[in-house]
A and B are shown apart, each in its own frame.
Chain A
């Protein structure tokens, strides 16, 4: 309940430079979501190119941002985040979602095995194919991963809205991050539940990723089902008030 209020205030308090603590604290509401950092701490920015830009190339806004950052305390960088070139935010998020019970080592190894399996399968196809088709076969596992997740993202979602004592499934637009989350969630649930008993996660996940890359497979079918439901409930769209 407090979350949308807090979000609204965050938008309003953008006017006040750096003064967030007073605006966010309501007298009647106790803060439930708190952190060990106080309100002034900003998130760290880990991008080597950003810092190495020479002063002449910066716009007025960027210069202002830089000066402002010098007065703000910064949180510590999280332990899964480095300036390494091999790091990918989408892959890190996927690993975190696959993780069970805090076992990041296992989740990360499953991810690397999946990417290796994808790469192996594509290379087998590449060597078996004729030279004309070889140009069409994508072998980079990271591009396959990104494209597969993009193909699984739904465009529109359904929200249950209570009207007249009944819940109606109303088509609703989804934000970018909700779409990405749904794509990853569906992929992981699909691989955990709908498989042979002894099939391992990397094997199943690589198979699903390759199918999604070609716009086939159960995850993309689930996306299409959702779109069809939304299309069927078009008439209820006016129930939405936001």
Chain B
């Protein structure tokens, strides 16, 4: 039943040239993807509708790299005669102690160099401080992973002290020290600033949301106003009879010295009175970010106005009276 294909001359089973019979048992029909390109129309449609897991790239099994699955292990530390390769093998933590030894050697070298320069009179007090702010030291787990050895807390602390001493003695070994530091993100850049919108009358405003416990608030802050605040259509003085809540509403404005300059319309639902006030405060602070310089946004972040409060009511546990309170202890 074999016949040659019209276009490419490849030997094709006669079944393909017949009216395509769609079978739900793909075991019987084995098509090769390469051949389907030459077969027009319906065959390509079927290949599209019923992709074979054998050839599709995206159907390949997803496996992690073997380095991520199998933990790093040390190779055999001694030769055929039983003699260890590393000179610090018998300390038990050879990589750690050799690292400490090298670092201390570098400190001594730097001091020797400094003494030589001072003897010649060529020493100059150059304060080349390395930028420590954008980076942090490796944490203990990361160092253990790097050295493939278990460390104790005292070992780790000693390591950090030695590294700081190396930093202080001079900026000569910067690359060596930087290999033990990881960068830390600058938090202020993470704050998303809402775009300023314009309503029908041309008034500029900005909308934002805020949450606290189970209260959700959405605030619309107008750029020019006289300090009126409307909560769910009610004036804030009537909605929040308690002074503390009104102080919370005023806090973002007072912090930026913009007390009577904005109008606010907000809707809030859920939570209690203090949670609603906190939610509105967060929403107003976020909305104000669009009218204010980047520096002031950073000030607000450091004053804690732009962080969403993650504290929620802790659940009651079984065997206790409340979240923390235990039942009265009875001796018998």
Choose among B153, B244, B277, B303 the residue with the greatest number of A CB atoms under 10 Å from its CB: B303
Residues of A within 8 A of B303 (CB): 44-46, 51, 74, 77, 83
> B38: CB under 8 A from chain A?
no
* A68 pairs with B137, CB closer than 8 A: no
Kindly state the separation between the CA atoms of A73 and B248 in the bound complex, as whole angstroms: 21
Given A36-B310, A82-B248, A82-B254, A21-B304 contact (CB < 8 Å): no
Residues of B within 8 A of A26 (CB): 153
From residue B101, how far is it (CB to closest CB) to chain A in Å? Answer: 21
- B245 (CB) vs chain A CBs: closest residue: A79
Kindly state the separation between the CA atoms of A76 and B137 in the bound complex, as whole angstroms: 26
> A214: CB under 8 A from chain B?
no
Q: Which of A12, A35, A108 contacts B243 (CB 8 A)?
A: A108
* A72 pairs with B187, CB closer than 8 A: yes
Given A37-B310, A74-B307, A79-B277, A48-B186 contact (CB < 8 Å): no
Kindly state the separation between the CA atoms of A82 and B248 in the bound complex, as whole angstroms: 7
> A18: CB under 8 A from chain B?
yes
* A77 pairs with B136, CB closer than 8 A: no
Residues of A within 8 A of B312 (CB): 36
* B156 pairs with A22, CB closer than 8 A: yes
Interface hit among B24-32, B103-111, B113-121, B294-302: B294-302
> B140: CB under 8 A from chain A?
yes
* A51 pairs with B187, CB closer than 8 A: no
Q: Which of A21, A48, A64, A73 contacts B307 (CB 8 A)?
A: A73
The residues in A between 63 and 97 inclusive whose CB is less than 8 angstroms from any CB of B are 64, 67-77, 79-80, 82-84
From residue B258, how far is it (CB to closest CB) to chain A in Å? Answer: 12
Count A-B pairs with CB separation below 8 Å.
Answer: 109
Kindly state the separation between the CA atoms of A200 and B307 in the bound complex, as whole angstroms: 40
Choose among B188, B244, B301, B302 the residue with the greatest number of A CB atoms under 10 Å from its CB: B302
* B251 pairs with A15, CB closer than 8 A: no
Given A37-B310, A105-B242, A82-B250 contact (CB < 8 Å): yes
* B302 pairs with A23, CB closer than 8 A: no
> A3: CB under 8 A from chain B?
no
Residues of A within 8 A of B255 (CB): 46, 48, 83
Number of interface residues of B (CB under 8 A): 46
Residues of B within 8 A of A46 (CB): 255, 303-304
Residues of A within 8 A of B140 (CB): 22-23
Q: Which of A15, A43, A51, A74 contacts B160 (CB 8 A)?
A: A15
> B141: CB under 8 A from chain A?
yes
From residue A176, how far is it (CB to closest CB) to chain B in Å? Answer: 25
* B157 pairs with A76, CB closer than 8 A: no
Residues of B within 8 A of A235 (CB): none
Residues of A within 8 A of B153 (CB): 23, 26
> A56: CB under 8 A from chain B?
no
Residues of A within 8 A of B188 (CB): 70
Given A22-B139, A82-B248, A83-B303, A71-B161 contact (CB < 8 Å): no
For chain A, which range describes its interface: under 10, 10 to 19, 20 to 34, or 35 or more residues? 35 or more
> B132: CB under 8 A from chain A?
yes
- B296 (CB) vs chain A CBs: closest residue: A51
Residues of A within 8 A of B307 (CB): 44, 73-76
> A16: CB under 8 A from chain B?
yes
From residue A194, how far is it (CB to closest CB) to chain B in Å? Answer: 29
Residues of B within 8 A of A77 (CB): 251, 303-305
Kindly state the separation between the CA atoms of A108 and B242 in the bound complex, as whole angstroms: 10
Query: Interface of A with B (CB < 8 Å)?
Result: 12-13, 15-19, 21-23, 26, 35-37, 43-46, 48, 51, 64, 67-77, 79-80, 82-84, 104-105, 108
Query: Interface of B with A (CB < 8 Å)?
Result: 132-134, 136-137, 139-141, 153, 156-157, 160-161, 164, 184-188, 242-244, 247-248, 250-251, 254-255, 257, 274, 277-278, 282, 298-299, 301-305, 307-312
Q: A19-B136, A83-B255 are in contact. List 14 more A-B contacts (CB 8 A).
A: A15-B160, A17-B137, A19-B137, A36-B312, A44-B302, A45-B302, A68-B133, A73-B307, A74-B301, A74-B303, A76-B282, A79-B278, A80-B244, A83-B303
Sorted nearest first, the 4 A-B pairs with minimum C-beta distance are A44-B304, A77-B304, A76-B309, A76-B307
Between A and B, 28 residue pairs with Cβ closer than 8 Å are A12-B157, A15-B161, A16-B160, A17-B136, A18-B136, A18-B184, A19-B139, A22-B140, A36-B310, A43-B304, A44-B302, A44-B307, A46-B303, A48-B257, A67-B133, A70-B133, A70-B298, A71-B187, A74-B303, A75-B307, A76-B308, A76-B309, A79-B274, A80-B244, A82-B254, A83-B255, A83-B303, A84-B247
